[in-house]
Amino acid sequence: MKEERLQKMKTAYDQIPIPPELESRVRDSIESAKKQRLKEKRPMTTVKRVIISIGAAAAAFMVGVTGLANSSASIAYAMEQIPVLGAITKVVTFRNYDDDRGNASAHIEVPEVEGGEAVSDLNDAIKAYTDTIIAQYEHDAAQQGEYGHYDLNLTYKVVTDNEKLFALRFDQTLVMASGNESVMIYNVDKDTGKIISLSDLFKADSDYISVLTENIQSQMREQMQADDSVYYWLDDEVEEWNFKELSPDATFYVNDAGELVIVFNEGDVAPMYMGVCEFTIPADVTKDIARPGYLG
């Protein structure tokens, strides 16, 4: 009977609608943002220096409010500093997108990282990601019928801030017939300002995928042995569900102890009641295969 219940949960998860053409829309948004920046006569760093002045800041705020007067949602500009990341870099809440249509609502936090051209790739990616989330919400909300409820919540926080790395995490909760949680994390090398992937943390000749996969599988088995309420798709009778190998595109961040943390969205490696699953990889597992400066 347990297999039958899990099959039903898996089927329900698979039926959750996925935004169409998500990848192409994200890429188009990034390219559009880059082209717009190239059209500007002054470099971004100069614009930011000007906006620091009180008068220019007030003018920029009024222009933004006027331009968004006809928006279907309430746009609140916070522009408040959250953490200090370095001498010139900080994260601000650029705007909050809030909408309530009765049976459909959304709260989406849109941050911006200040630091000039060094963080332009990151800001382009953030804009593309949040624009896509907003566009998908507005499409889905317009299609929402009289019955049911659609609630979307997207928040962010800094999860890594050390001498080498900075990571910004987005947590998305979507409630329709049931709830669904997902995570997006942008990891940035502070020396280059570039967004990095999991492979960038490890030596080129290391078999890091196998090493990390084996450790995560071991943690899964230990957790299931210690707690009957914990269940992962590891040795399941439905073979295609089983977690066999970590993806090179896995979501991750580095915690305060310098340890790698792998994050799985709800339903990826376990039934949905398990929520978002995170596995901290001990330093002694990665010490021989990690590139200097990133871990440990």
The CATH H-level (homologous superfamily) assignment of domain 22-39+71-196 is: Fervidobacterium nodosum Rt17-B1 like (3.30.565.40)
**Cα–Cα dist 44/13, whole Å:** 43
**Cα–Cα dist 274/265, whole Å:** 10
Q: CATH 3.30.565.40 residue ranges in the chain? A: 22-39+71-196
Closest by Cα among 178, 176, 132, 171 to 272: 178
**Cα–Cα dist 272/10, whole Å:** 8
Residue 168 confidence (pLDDT): 95
Residue 234 confidence (pLDDT): 92
Backbone φ, ψ for residue 50 (5° rounding): -65, -45
Q: Exposed (0-12), middle (13-18) or buried (19+): which is 74, by Cβ within 10 Å? A: exposed
**Cα–Cα dist 163/199, whole Å:** 19
pTM comes to 0.73
**pLDDT tens track of the chain, all 296 residues?**
445 544 554 454 444 444 444 445 545 554 554 454 444 433 443 333 333 333 433 333 333 333 333 344 555 555 444 444 443 368 888 899 999 988 899 999 999 998 877 788 999 999 999 999 999 999 988 888 776 788 999 999 999 999 899 999 999 999 876 679 999 999 999 888 899 999 999 999 899 999 999 999 999 999 999 999 999 999 888 888 899 999 999 999 999 999 999 999 999 999 999 999 999 999 999 999 999 989 98
Residue 269 confidence (pLDDT): 96
The CATH H-level (homologous superfamily) assignment of domain 199-286 is: Heat-shock cognate protein, ATPase (3.90.640.20)
- Given CA atoms 41, 42, 47, 50 in this order, what sign does their dihedral have? negative
Residue 102 confidence (pLDDT): 87
DSSP 97-132: EEEE-SSEEEEEEEEEEESGGGGHHHHHHHHHHHHH
- Letter for the amino acid at 120? S
DSSP helix/strand/coil, 80 = coil
Q: Which two tokens stand for residue 112?
A: 């911006």
**Cα–Cα dist 214/244, whole Å:** 9
Residues forming beta bridges with residue 202, ordered by sequence position: 290
Q: CATH 3.90.640.20 residue ranges in the chain? A: 199-286
CA separation (Å) from 60 to 70, 91, 174, 256?
Answer: 18, 18, 33, 37
Angle between helices 44-51 and 54-67 (to 10 degrees): 110
Backbone φ, ψ for residue 173 (5° rounding): -120, 125
Return the number of other C-beta atoms located less than 10 Å from residue 236's C-beta: 17
E-strand stretches of the chain? 74-76, 81-84, 90-100, 104-114, 150-161, 165-175, 179-189, 251-254, 260-264, 277-281
Residue 144 confidence (pLDDT): 80
Q: Which two tokens stand for residue 274?
A: 């398990």
Residue 177 confidence (pLDDT): 66
Half-sphere exposure of 104 (CA within 13 A, CB side): 16
